[in-house]
């Protein structure tokens, strides 16, 4: 367990060297990061992630196509059987030109945590199923300890991400192998950044703001 918990730190320790030649700087000479200046320091990012629990419990574990006890493409009836009704709020969600039924799911252990969005697909005749899970709650993490609030360099190192582009959900790096998209804090980038960038050009300490499981 100790070895698994230390894995994100071991990965982050080597991130500075591999990215130091590709980290962009603002033309004005100011830092391209907004807000806390510590975000530009990968060592500070490693320290911050070390101060929070890295290993999720089974209800907050993100894995390919799954978040906690919910799996992509599971029928709506099974979802409703697994999640108590008082944790769910039904709504609709528009993505591009399409509108989907959805649920907001509150966390049973921490009702004040950001709700998880469960986007559905299907129809009345054949029934609905879980299309995507959109996580913004930092309690959710992969088995390696990466999740909301982690530095992007950790996800890049683990999942071999190559491109980051604008999507309907935000600026995201997509891992088809892991069946996840990592949403990034665009305040960490120059305002005029490209809508499609090599991941090597994204500063290592850019914060992950959400995870889309599909």
Would you state the pLDDT for residue 121? 96
Mean pLDDT value of segment 3-8: 43
Angle at the Cα of 181 (from 82 to 55), degrees rounded to 5?
A: 60
Report pLDDT digits (tens) over 65-113: 999 999 999 999 999 999 999 999 999 998 878 899 999 999 999 999 9
Report pLDDT digits (tens) over 127-165: 999 999 999 999 999 999 999 999 999 999 999 898 999
Question: How far is it, in rounded angstroms, from Cα 167 to Cα 85?
Answer: 31
Mean pLDDT value of segment 185-207: 93
Q: Which residue has the tokens 């069946």?
A: 179
Q: pLDDT-based confidence at 52, cuts 50/70/90?
A: very low
Would you state the pLDDT for residue 56? 79
Q: pLDDT-based confidence at 122, cuts 50/70/90?
A: very high
Q: Which residue has the tokens 């990012």?
A: 45
Report CA-CA distances (Å) from 6 to 10, 63, 83: 6, 19, 32
Which of 12, 49, 68, 77 lies closest to 211 in space, CA to CA?
68
Round to the nearest angstrom and report the end-to-end CA distance of the chain. Answer: 28
Helix (H, G, I), strand (E, B) or coil at 188: helix
**Cβ density class 121-133: b for 16+ within 10 Å, e for less:** eeeeeeebbbbbb
Which of 65, 18, 26, 44 lies closest to 191 in space, CA to CA?
26
Using DSSP bridges, classify how beta strands 170-175 and 163-167 pair: parallel, antiparallel or unpaired: antiparallel
Which of 61, 49, 63, 56 lies closest to 175 in space, CA to CA?
63
Would you state the pLDDT for residue 54? 59
Helix (H, G, I), strand (E, B) or coil at 170: strand
Would you state the pLDDT for residue 46? 44
Q: What percent of the chain has pLDDT over 90?
A: 64
Give me the CATH code for the 1-214 domain, please: 2.60.460.10
pTM (2 d.p.) = 0.73
Annotated domain spans of the chain: 1-214
Would you state the pLDDT for residue 61? 96
Mean pLDDT value of segment 52-57: 64
Mean pLDDT value of segment 172-192: 92
Question: How far is it, in rounded angstroms, from Cα 188 to Cα 107?
Answer: 28
pLDDT higher than threshold 60 for residue 29: no
Residues 6+ apart with CB under 8 A from 166: 172, 195, 196
pLDDT higher than threshold 50 for residue 208: yes
Q: pLDDT-based confidence at 55, cuts 50/70/90?
A: low
Number of H helices, E strands in the chain: 6, 13
């Amino acid at each position: 367990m100790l070895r698994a918990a230390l894995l994100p730190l071991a990965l982050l320790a080597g991130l500075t060297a591999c990215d130091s030649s590709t980290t962009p700087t603002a033309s004005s000479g100011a830092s391209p990061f907004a807000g806390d200046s510590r975000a530009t320091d990968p060592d500070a990012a490693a320290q911050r992630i070390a101060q929070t629990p890295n290993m999720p419990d089974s209800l907050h574990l993100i894995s390919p196509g799954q978040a906690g006890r919910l799996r992509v493409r599971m029928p709506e009836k099974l979802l409703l059987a697994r999640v108590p009704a008082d944790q769910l709020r039904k709504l609709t969600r528009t993505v591009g030109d399409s509108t989907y039924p959805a649920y907001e799911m509150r966390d049973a252990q921490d009702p004040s945590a950001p709700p998880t969005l469960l986007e559905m697909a299907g129809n009345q005749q054949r029934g609905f199923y879980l299309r995507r899970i959109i996580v913004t709650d930092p309690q959710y993490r992969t088995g390696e300890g990466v999740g909301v609030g982690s530095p992007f360099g950790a996800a890049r190192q683990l999942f071999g991400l190559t491109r980051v582009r604008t999507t309907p959900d935000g600026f995201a790096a997509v891992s088809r192998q892991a069946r996840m998209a990592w949403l990034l804090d665009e305040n960490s980038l120059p305002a005029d950044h490209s809508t499609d960038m090599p991941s090597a050009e994204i500063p290592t300490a850019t914060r992950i703001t959400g995870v889309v499981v599909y």
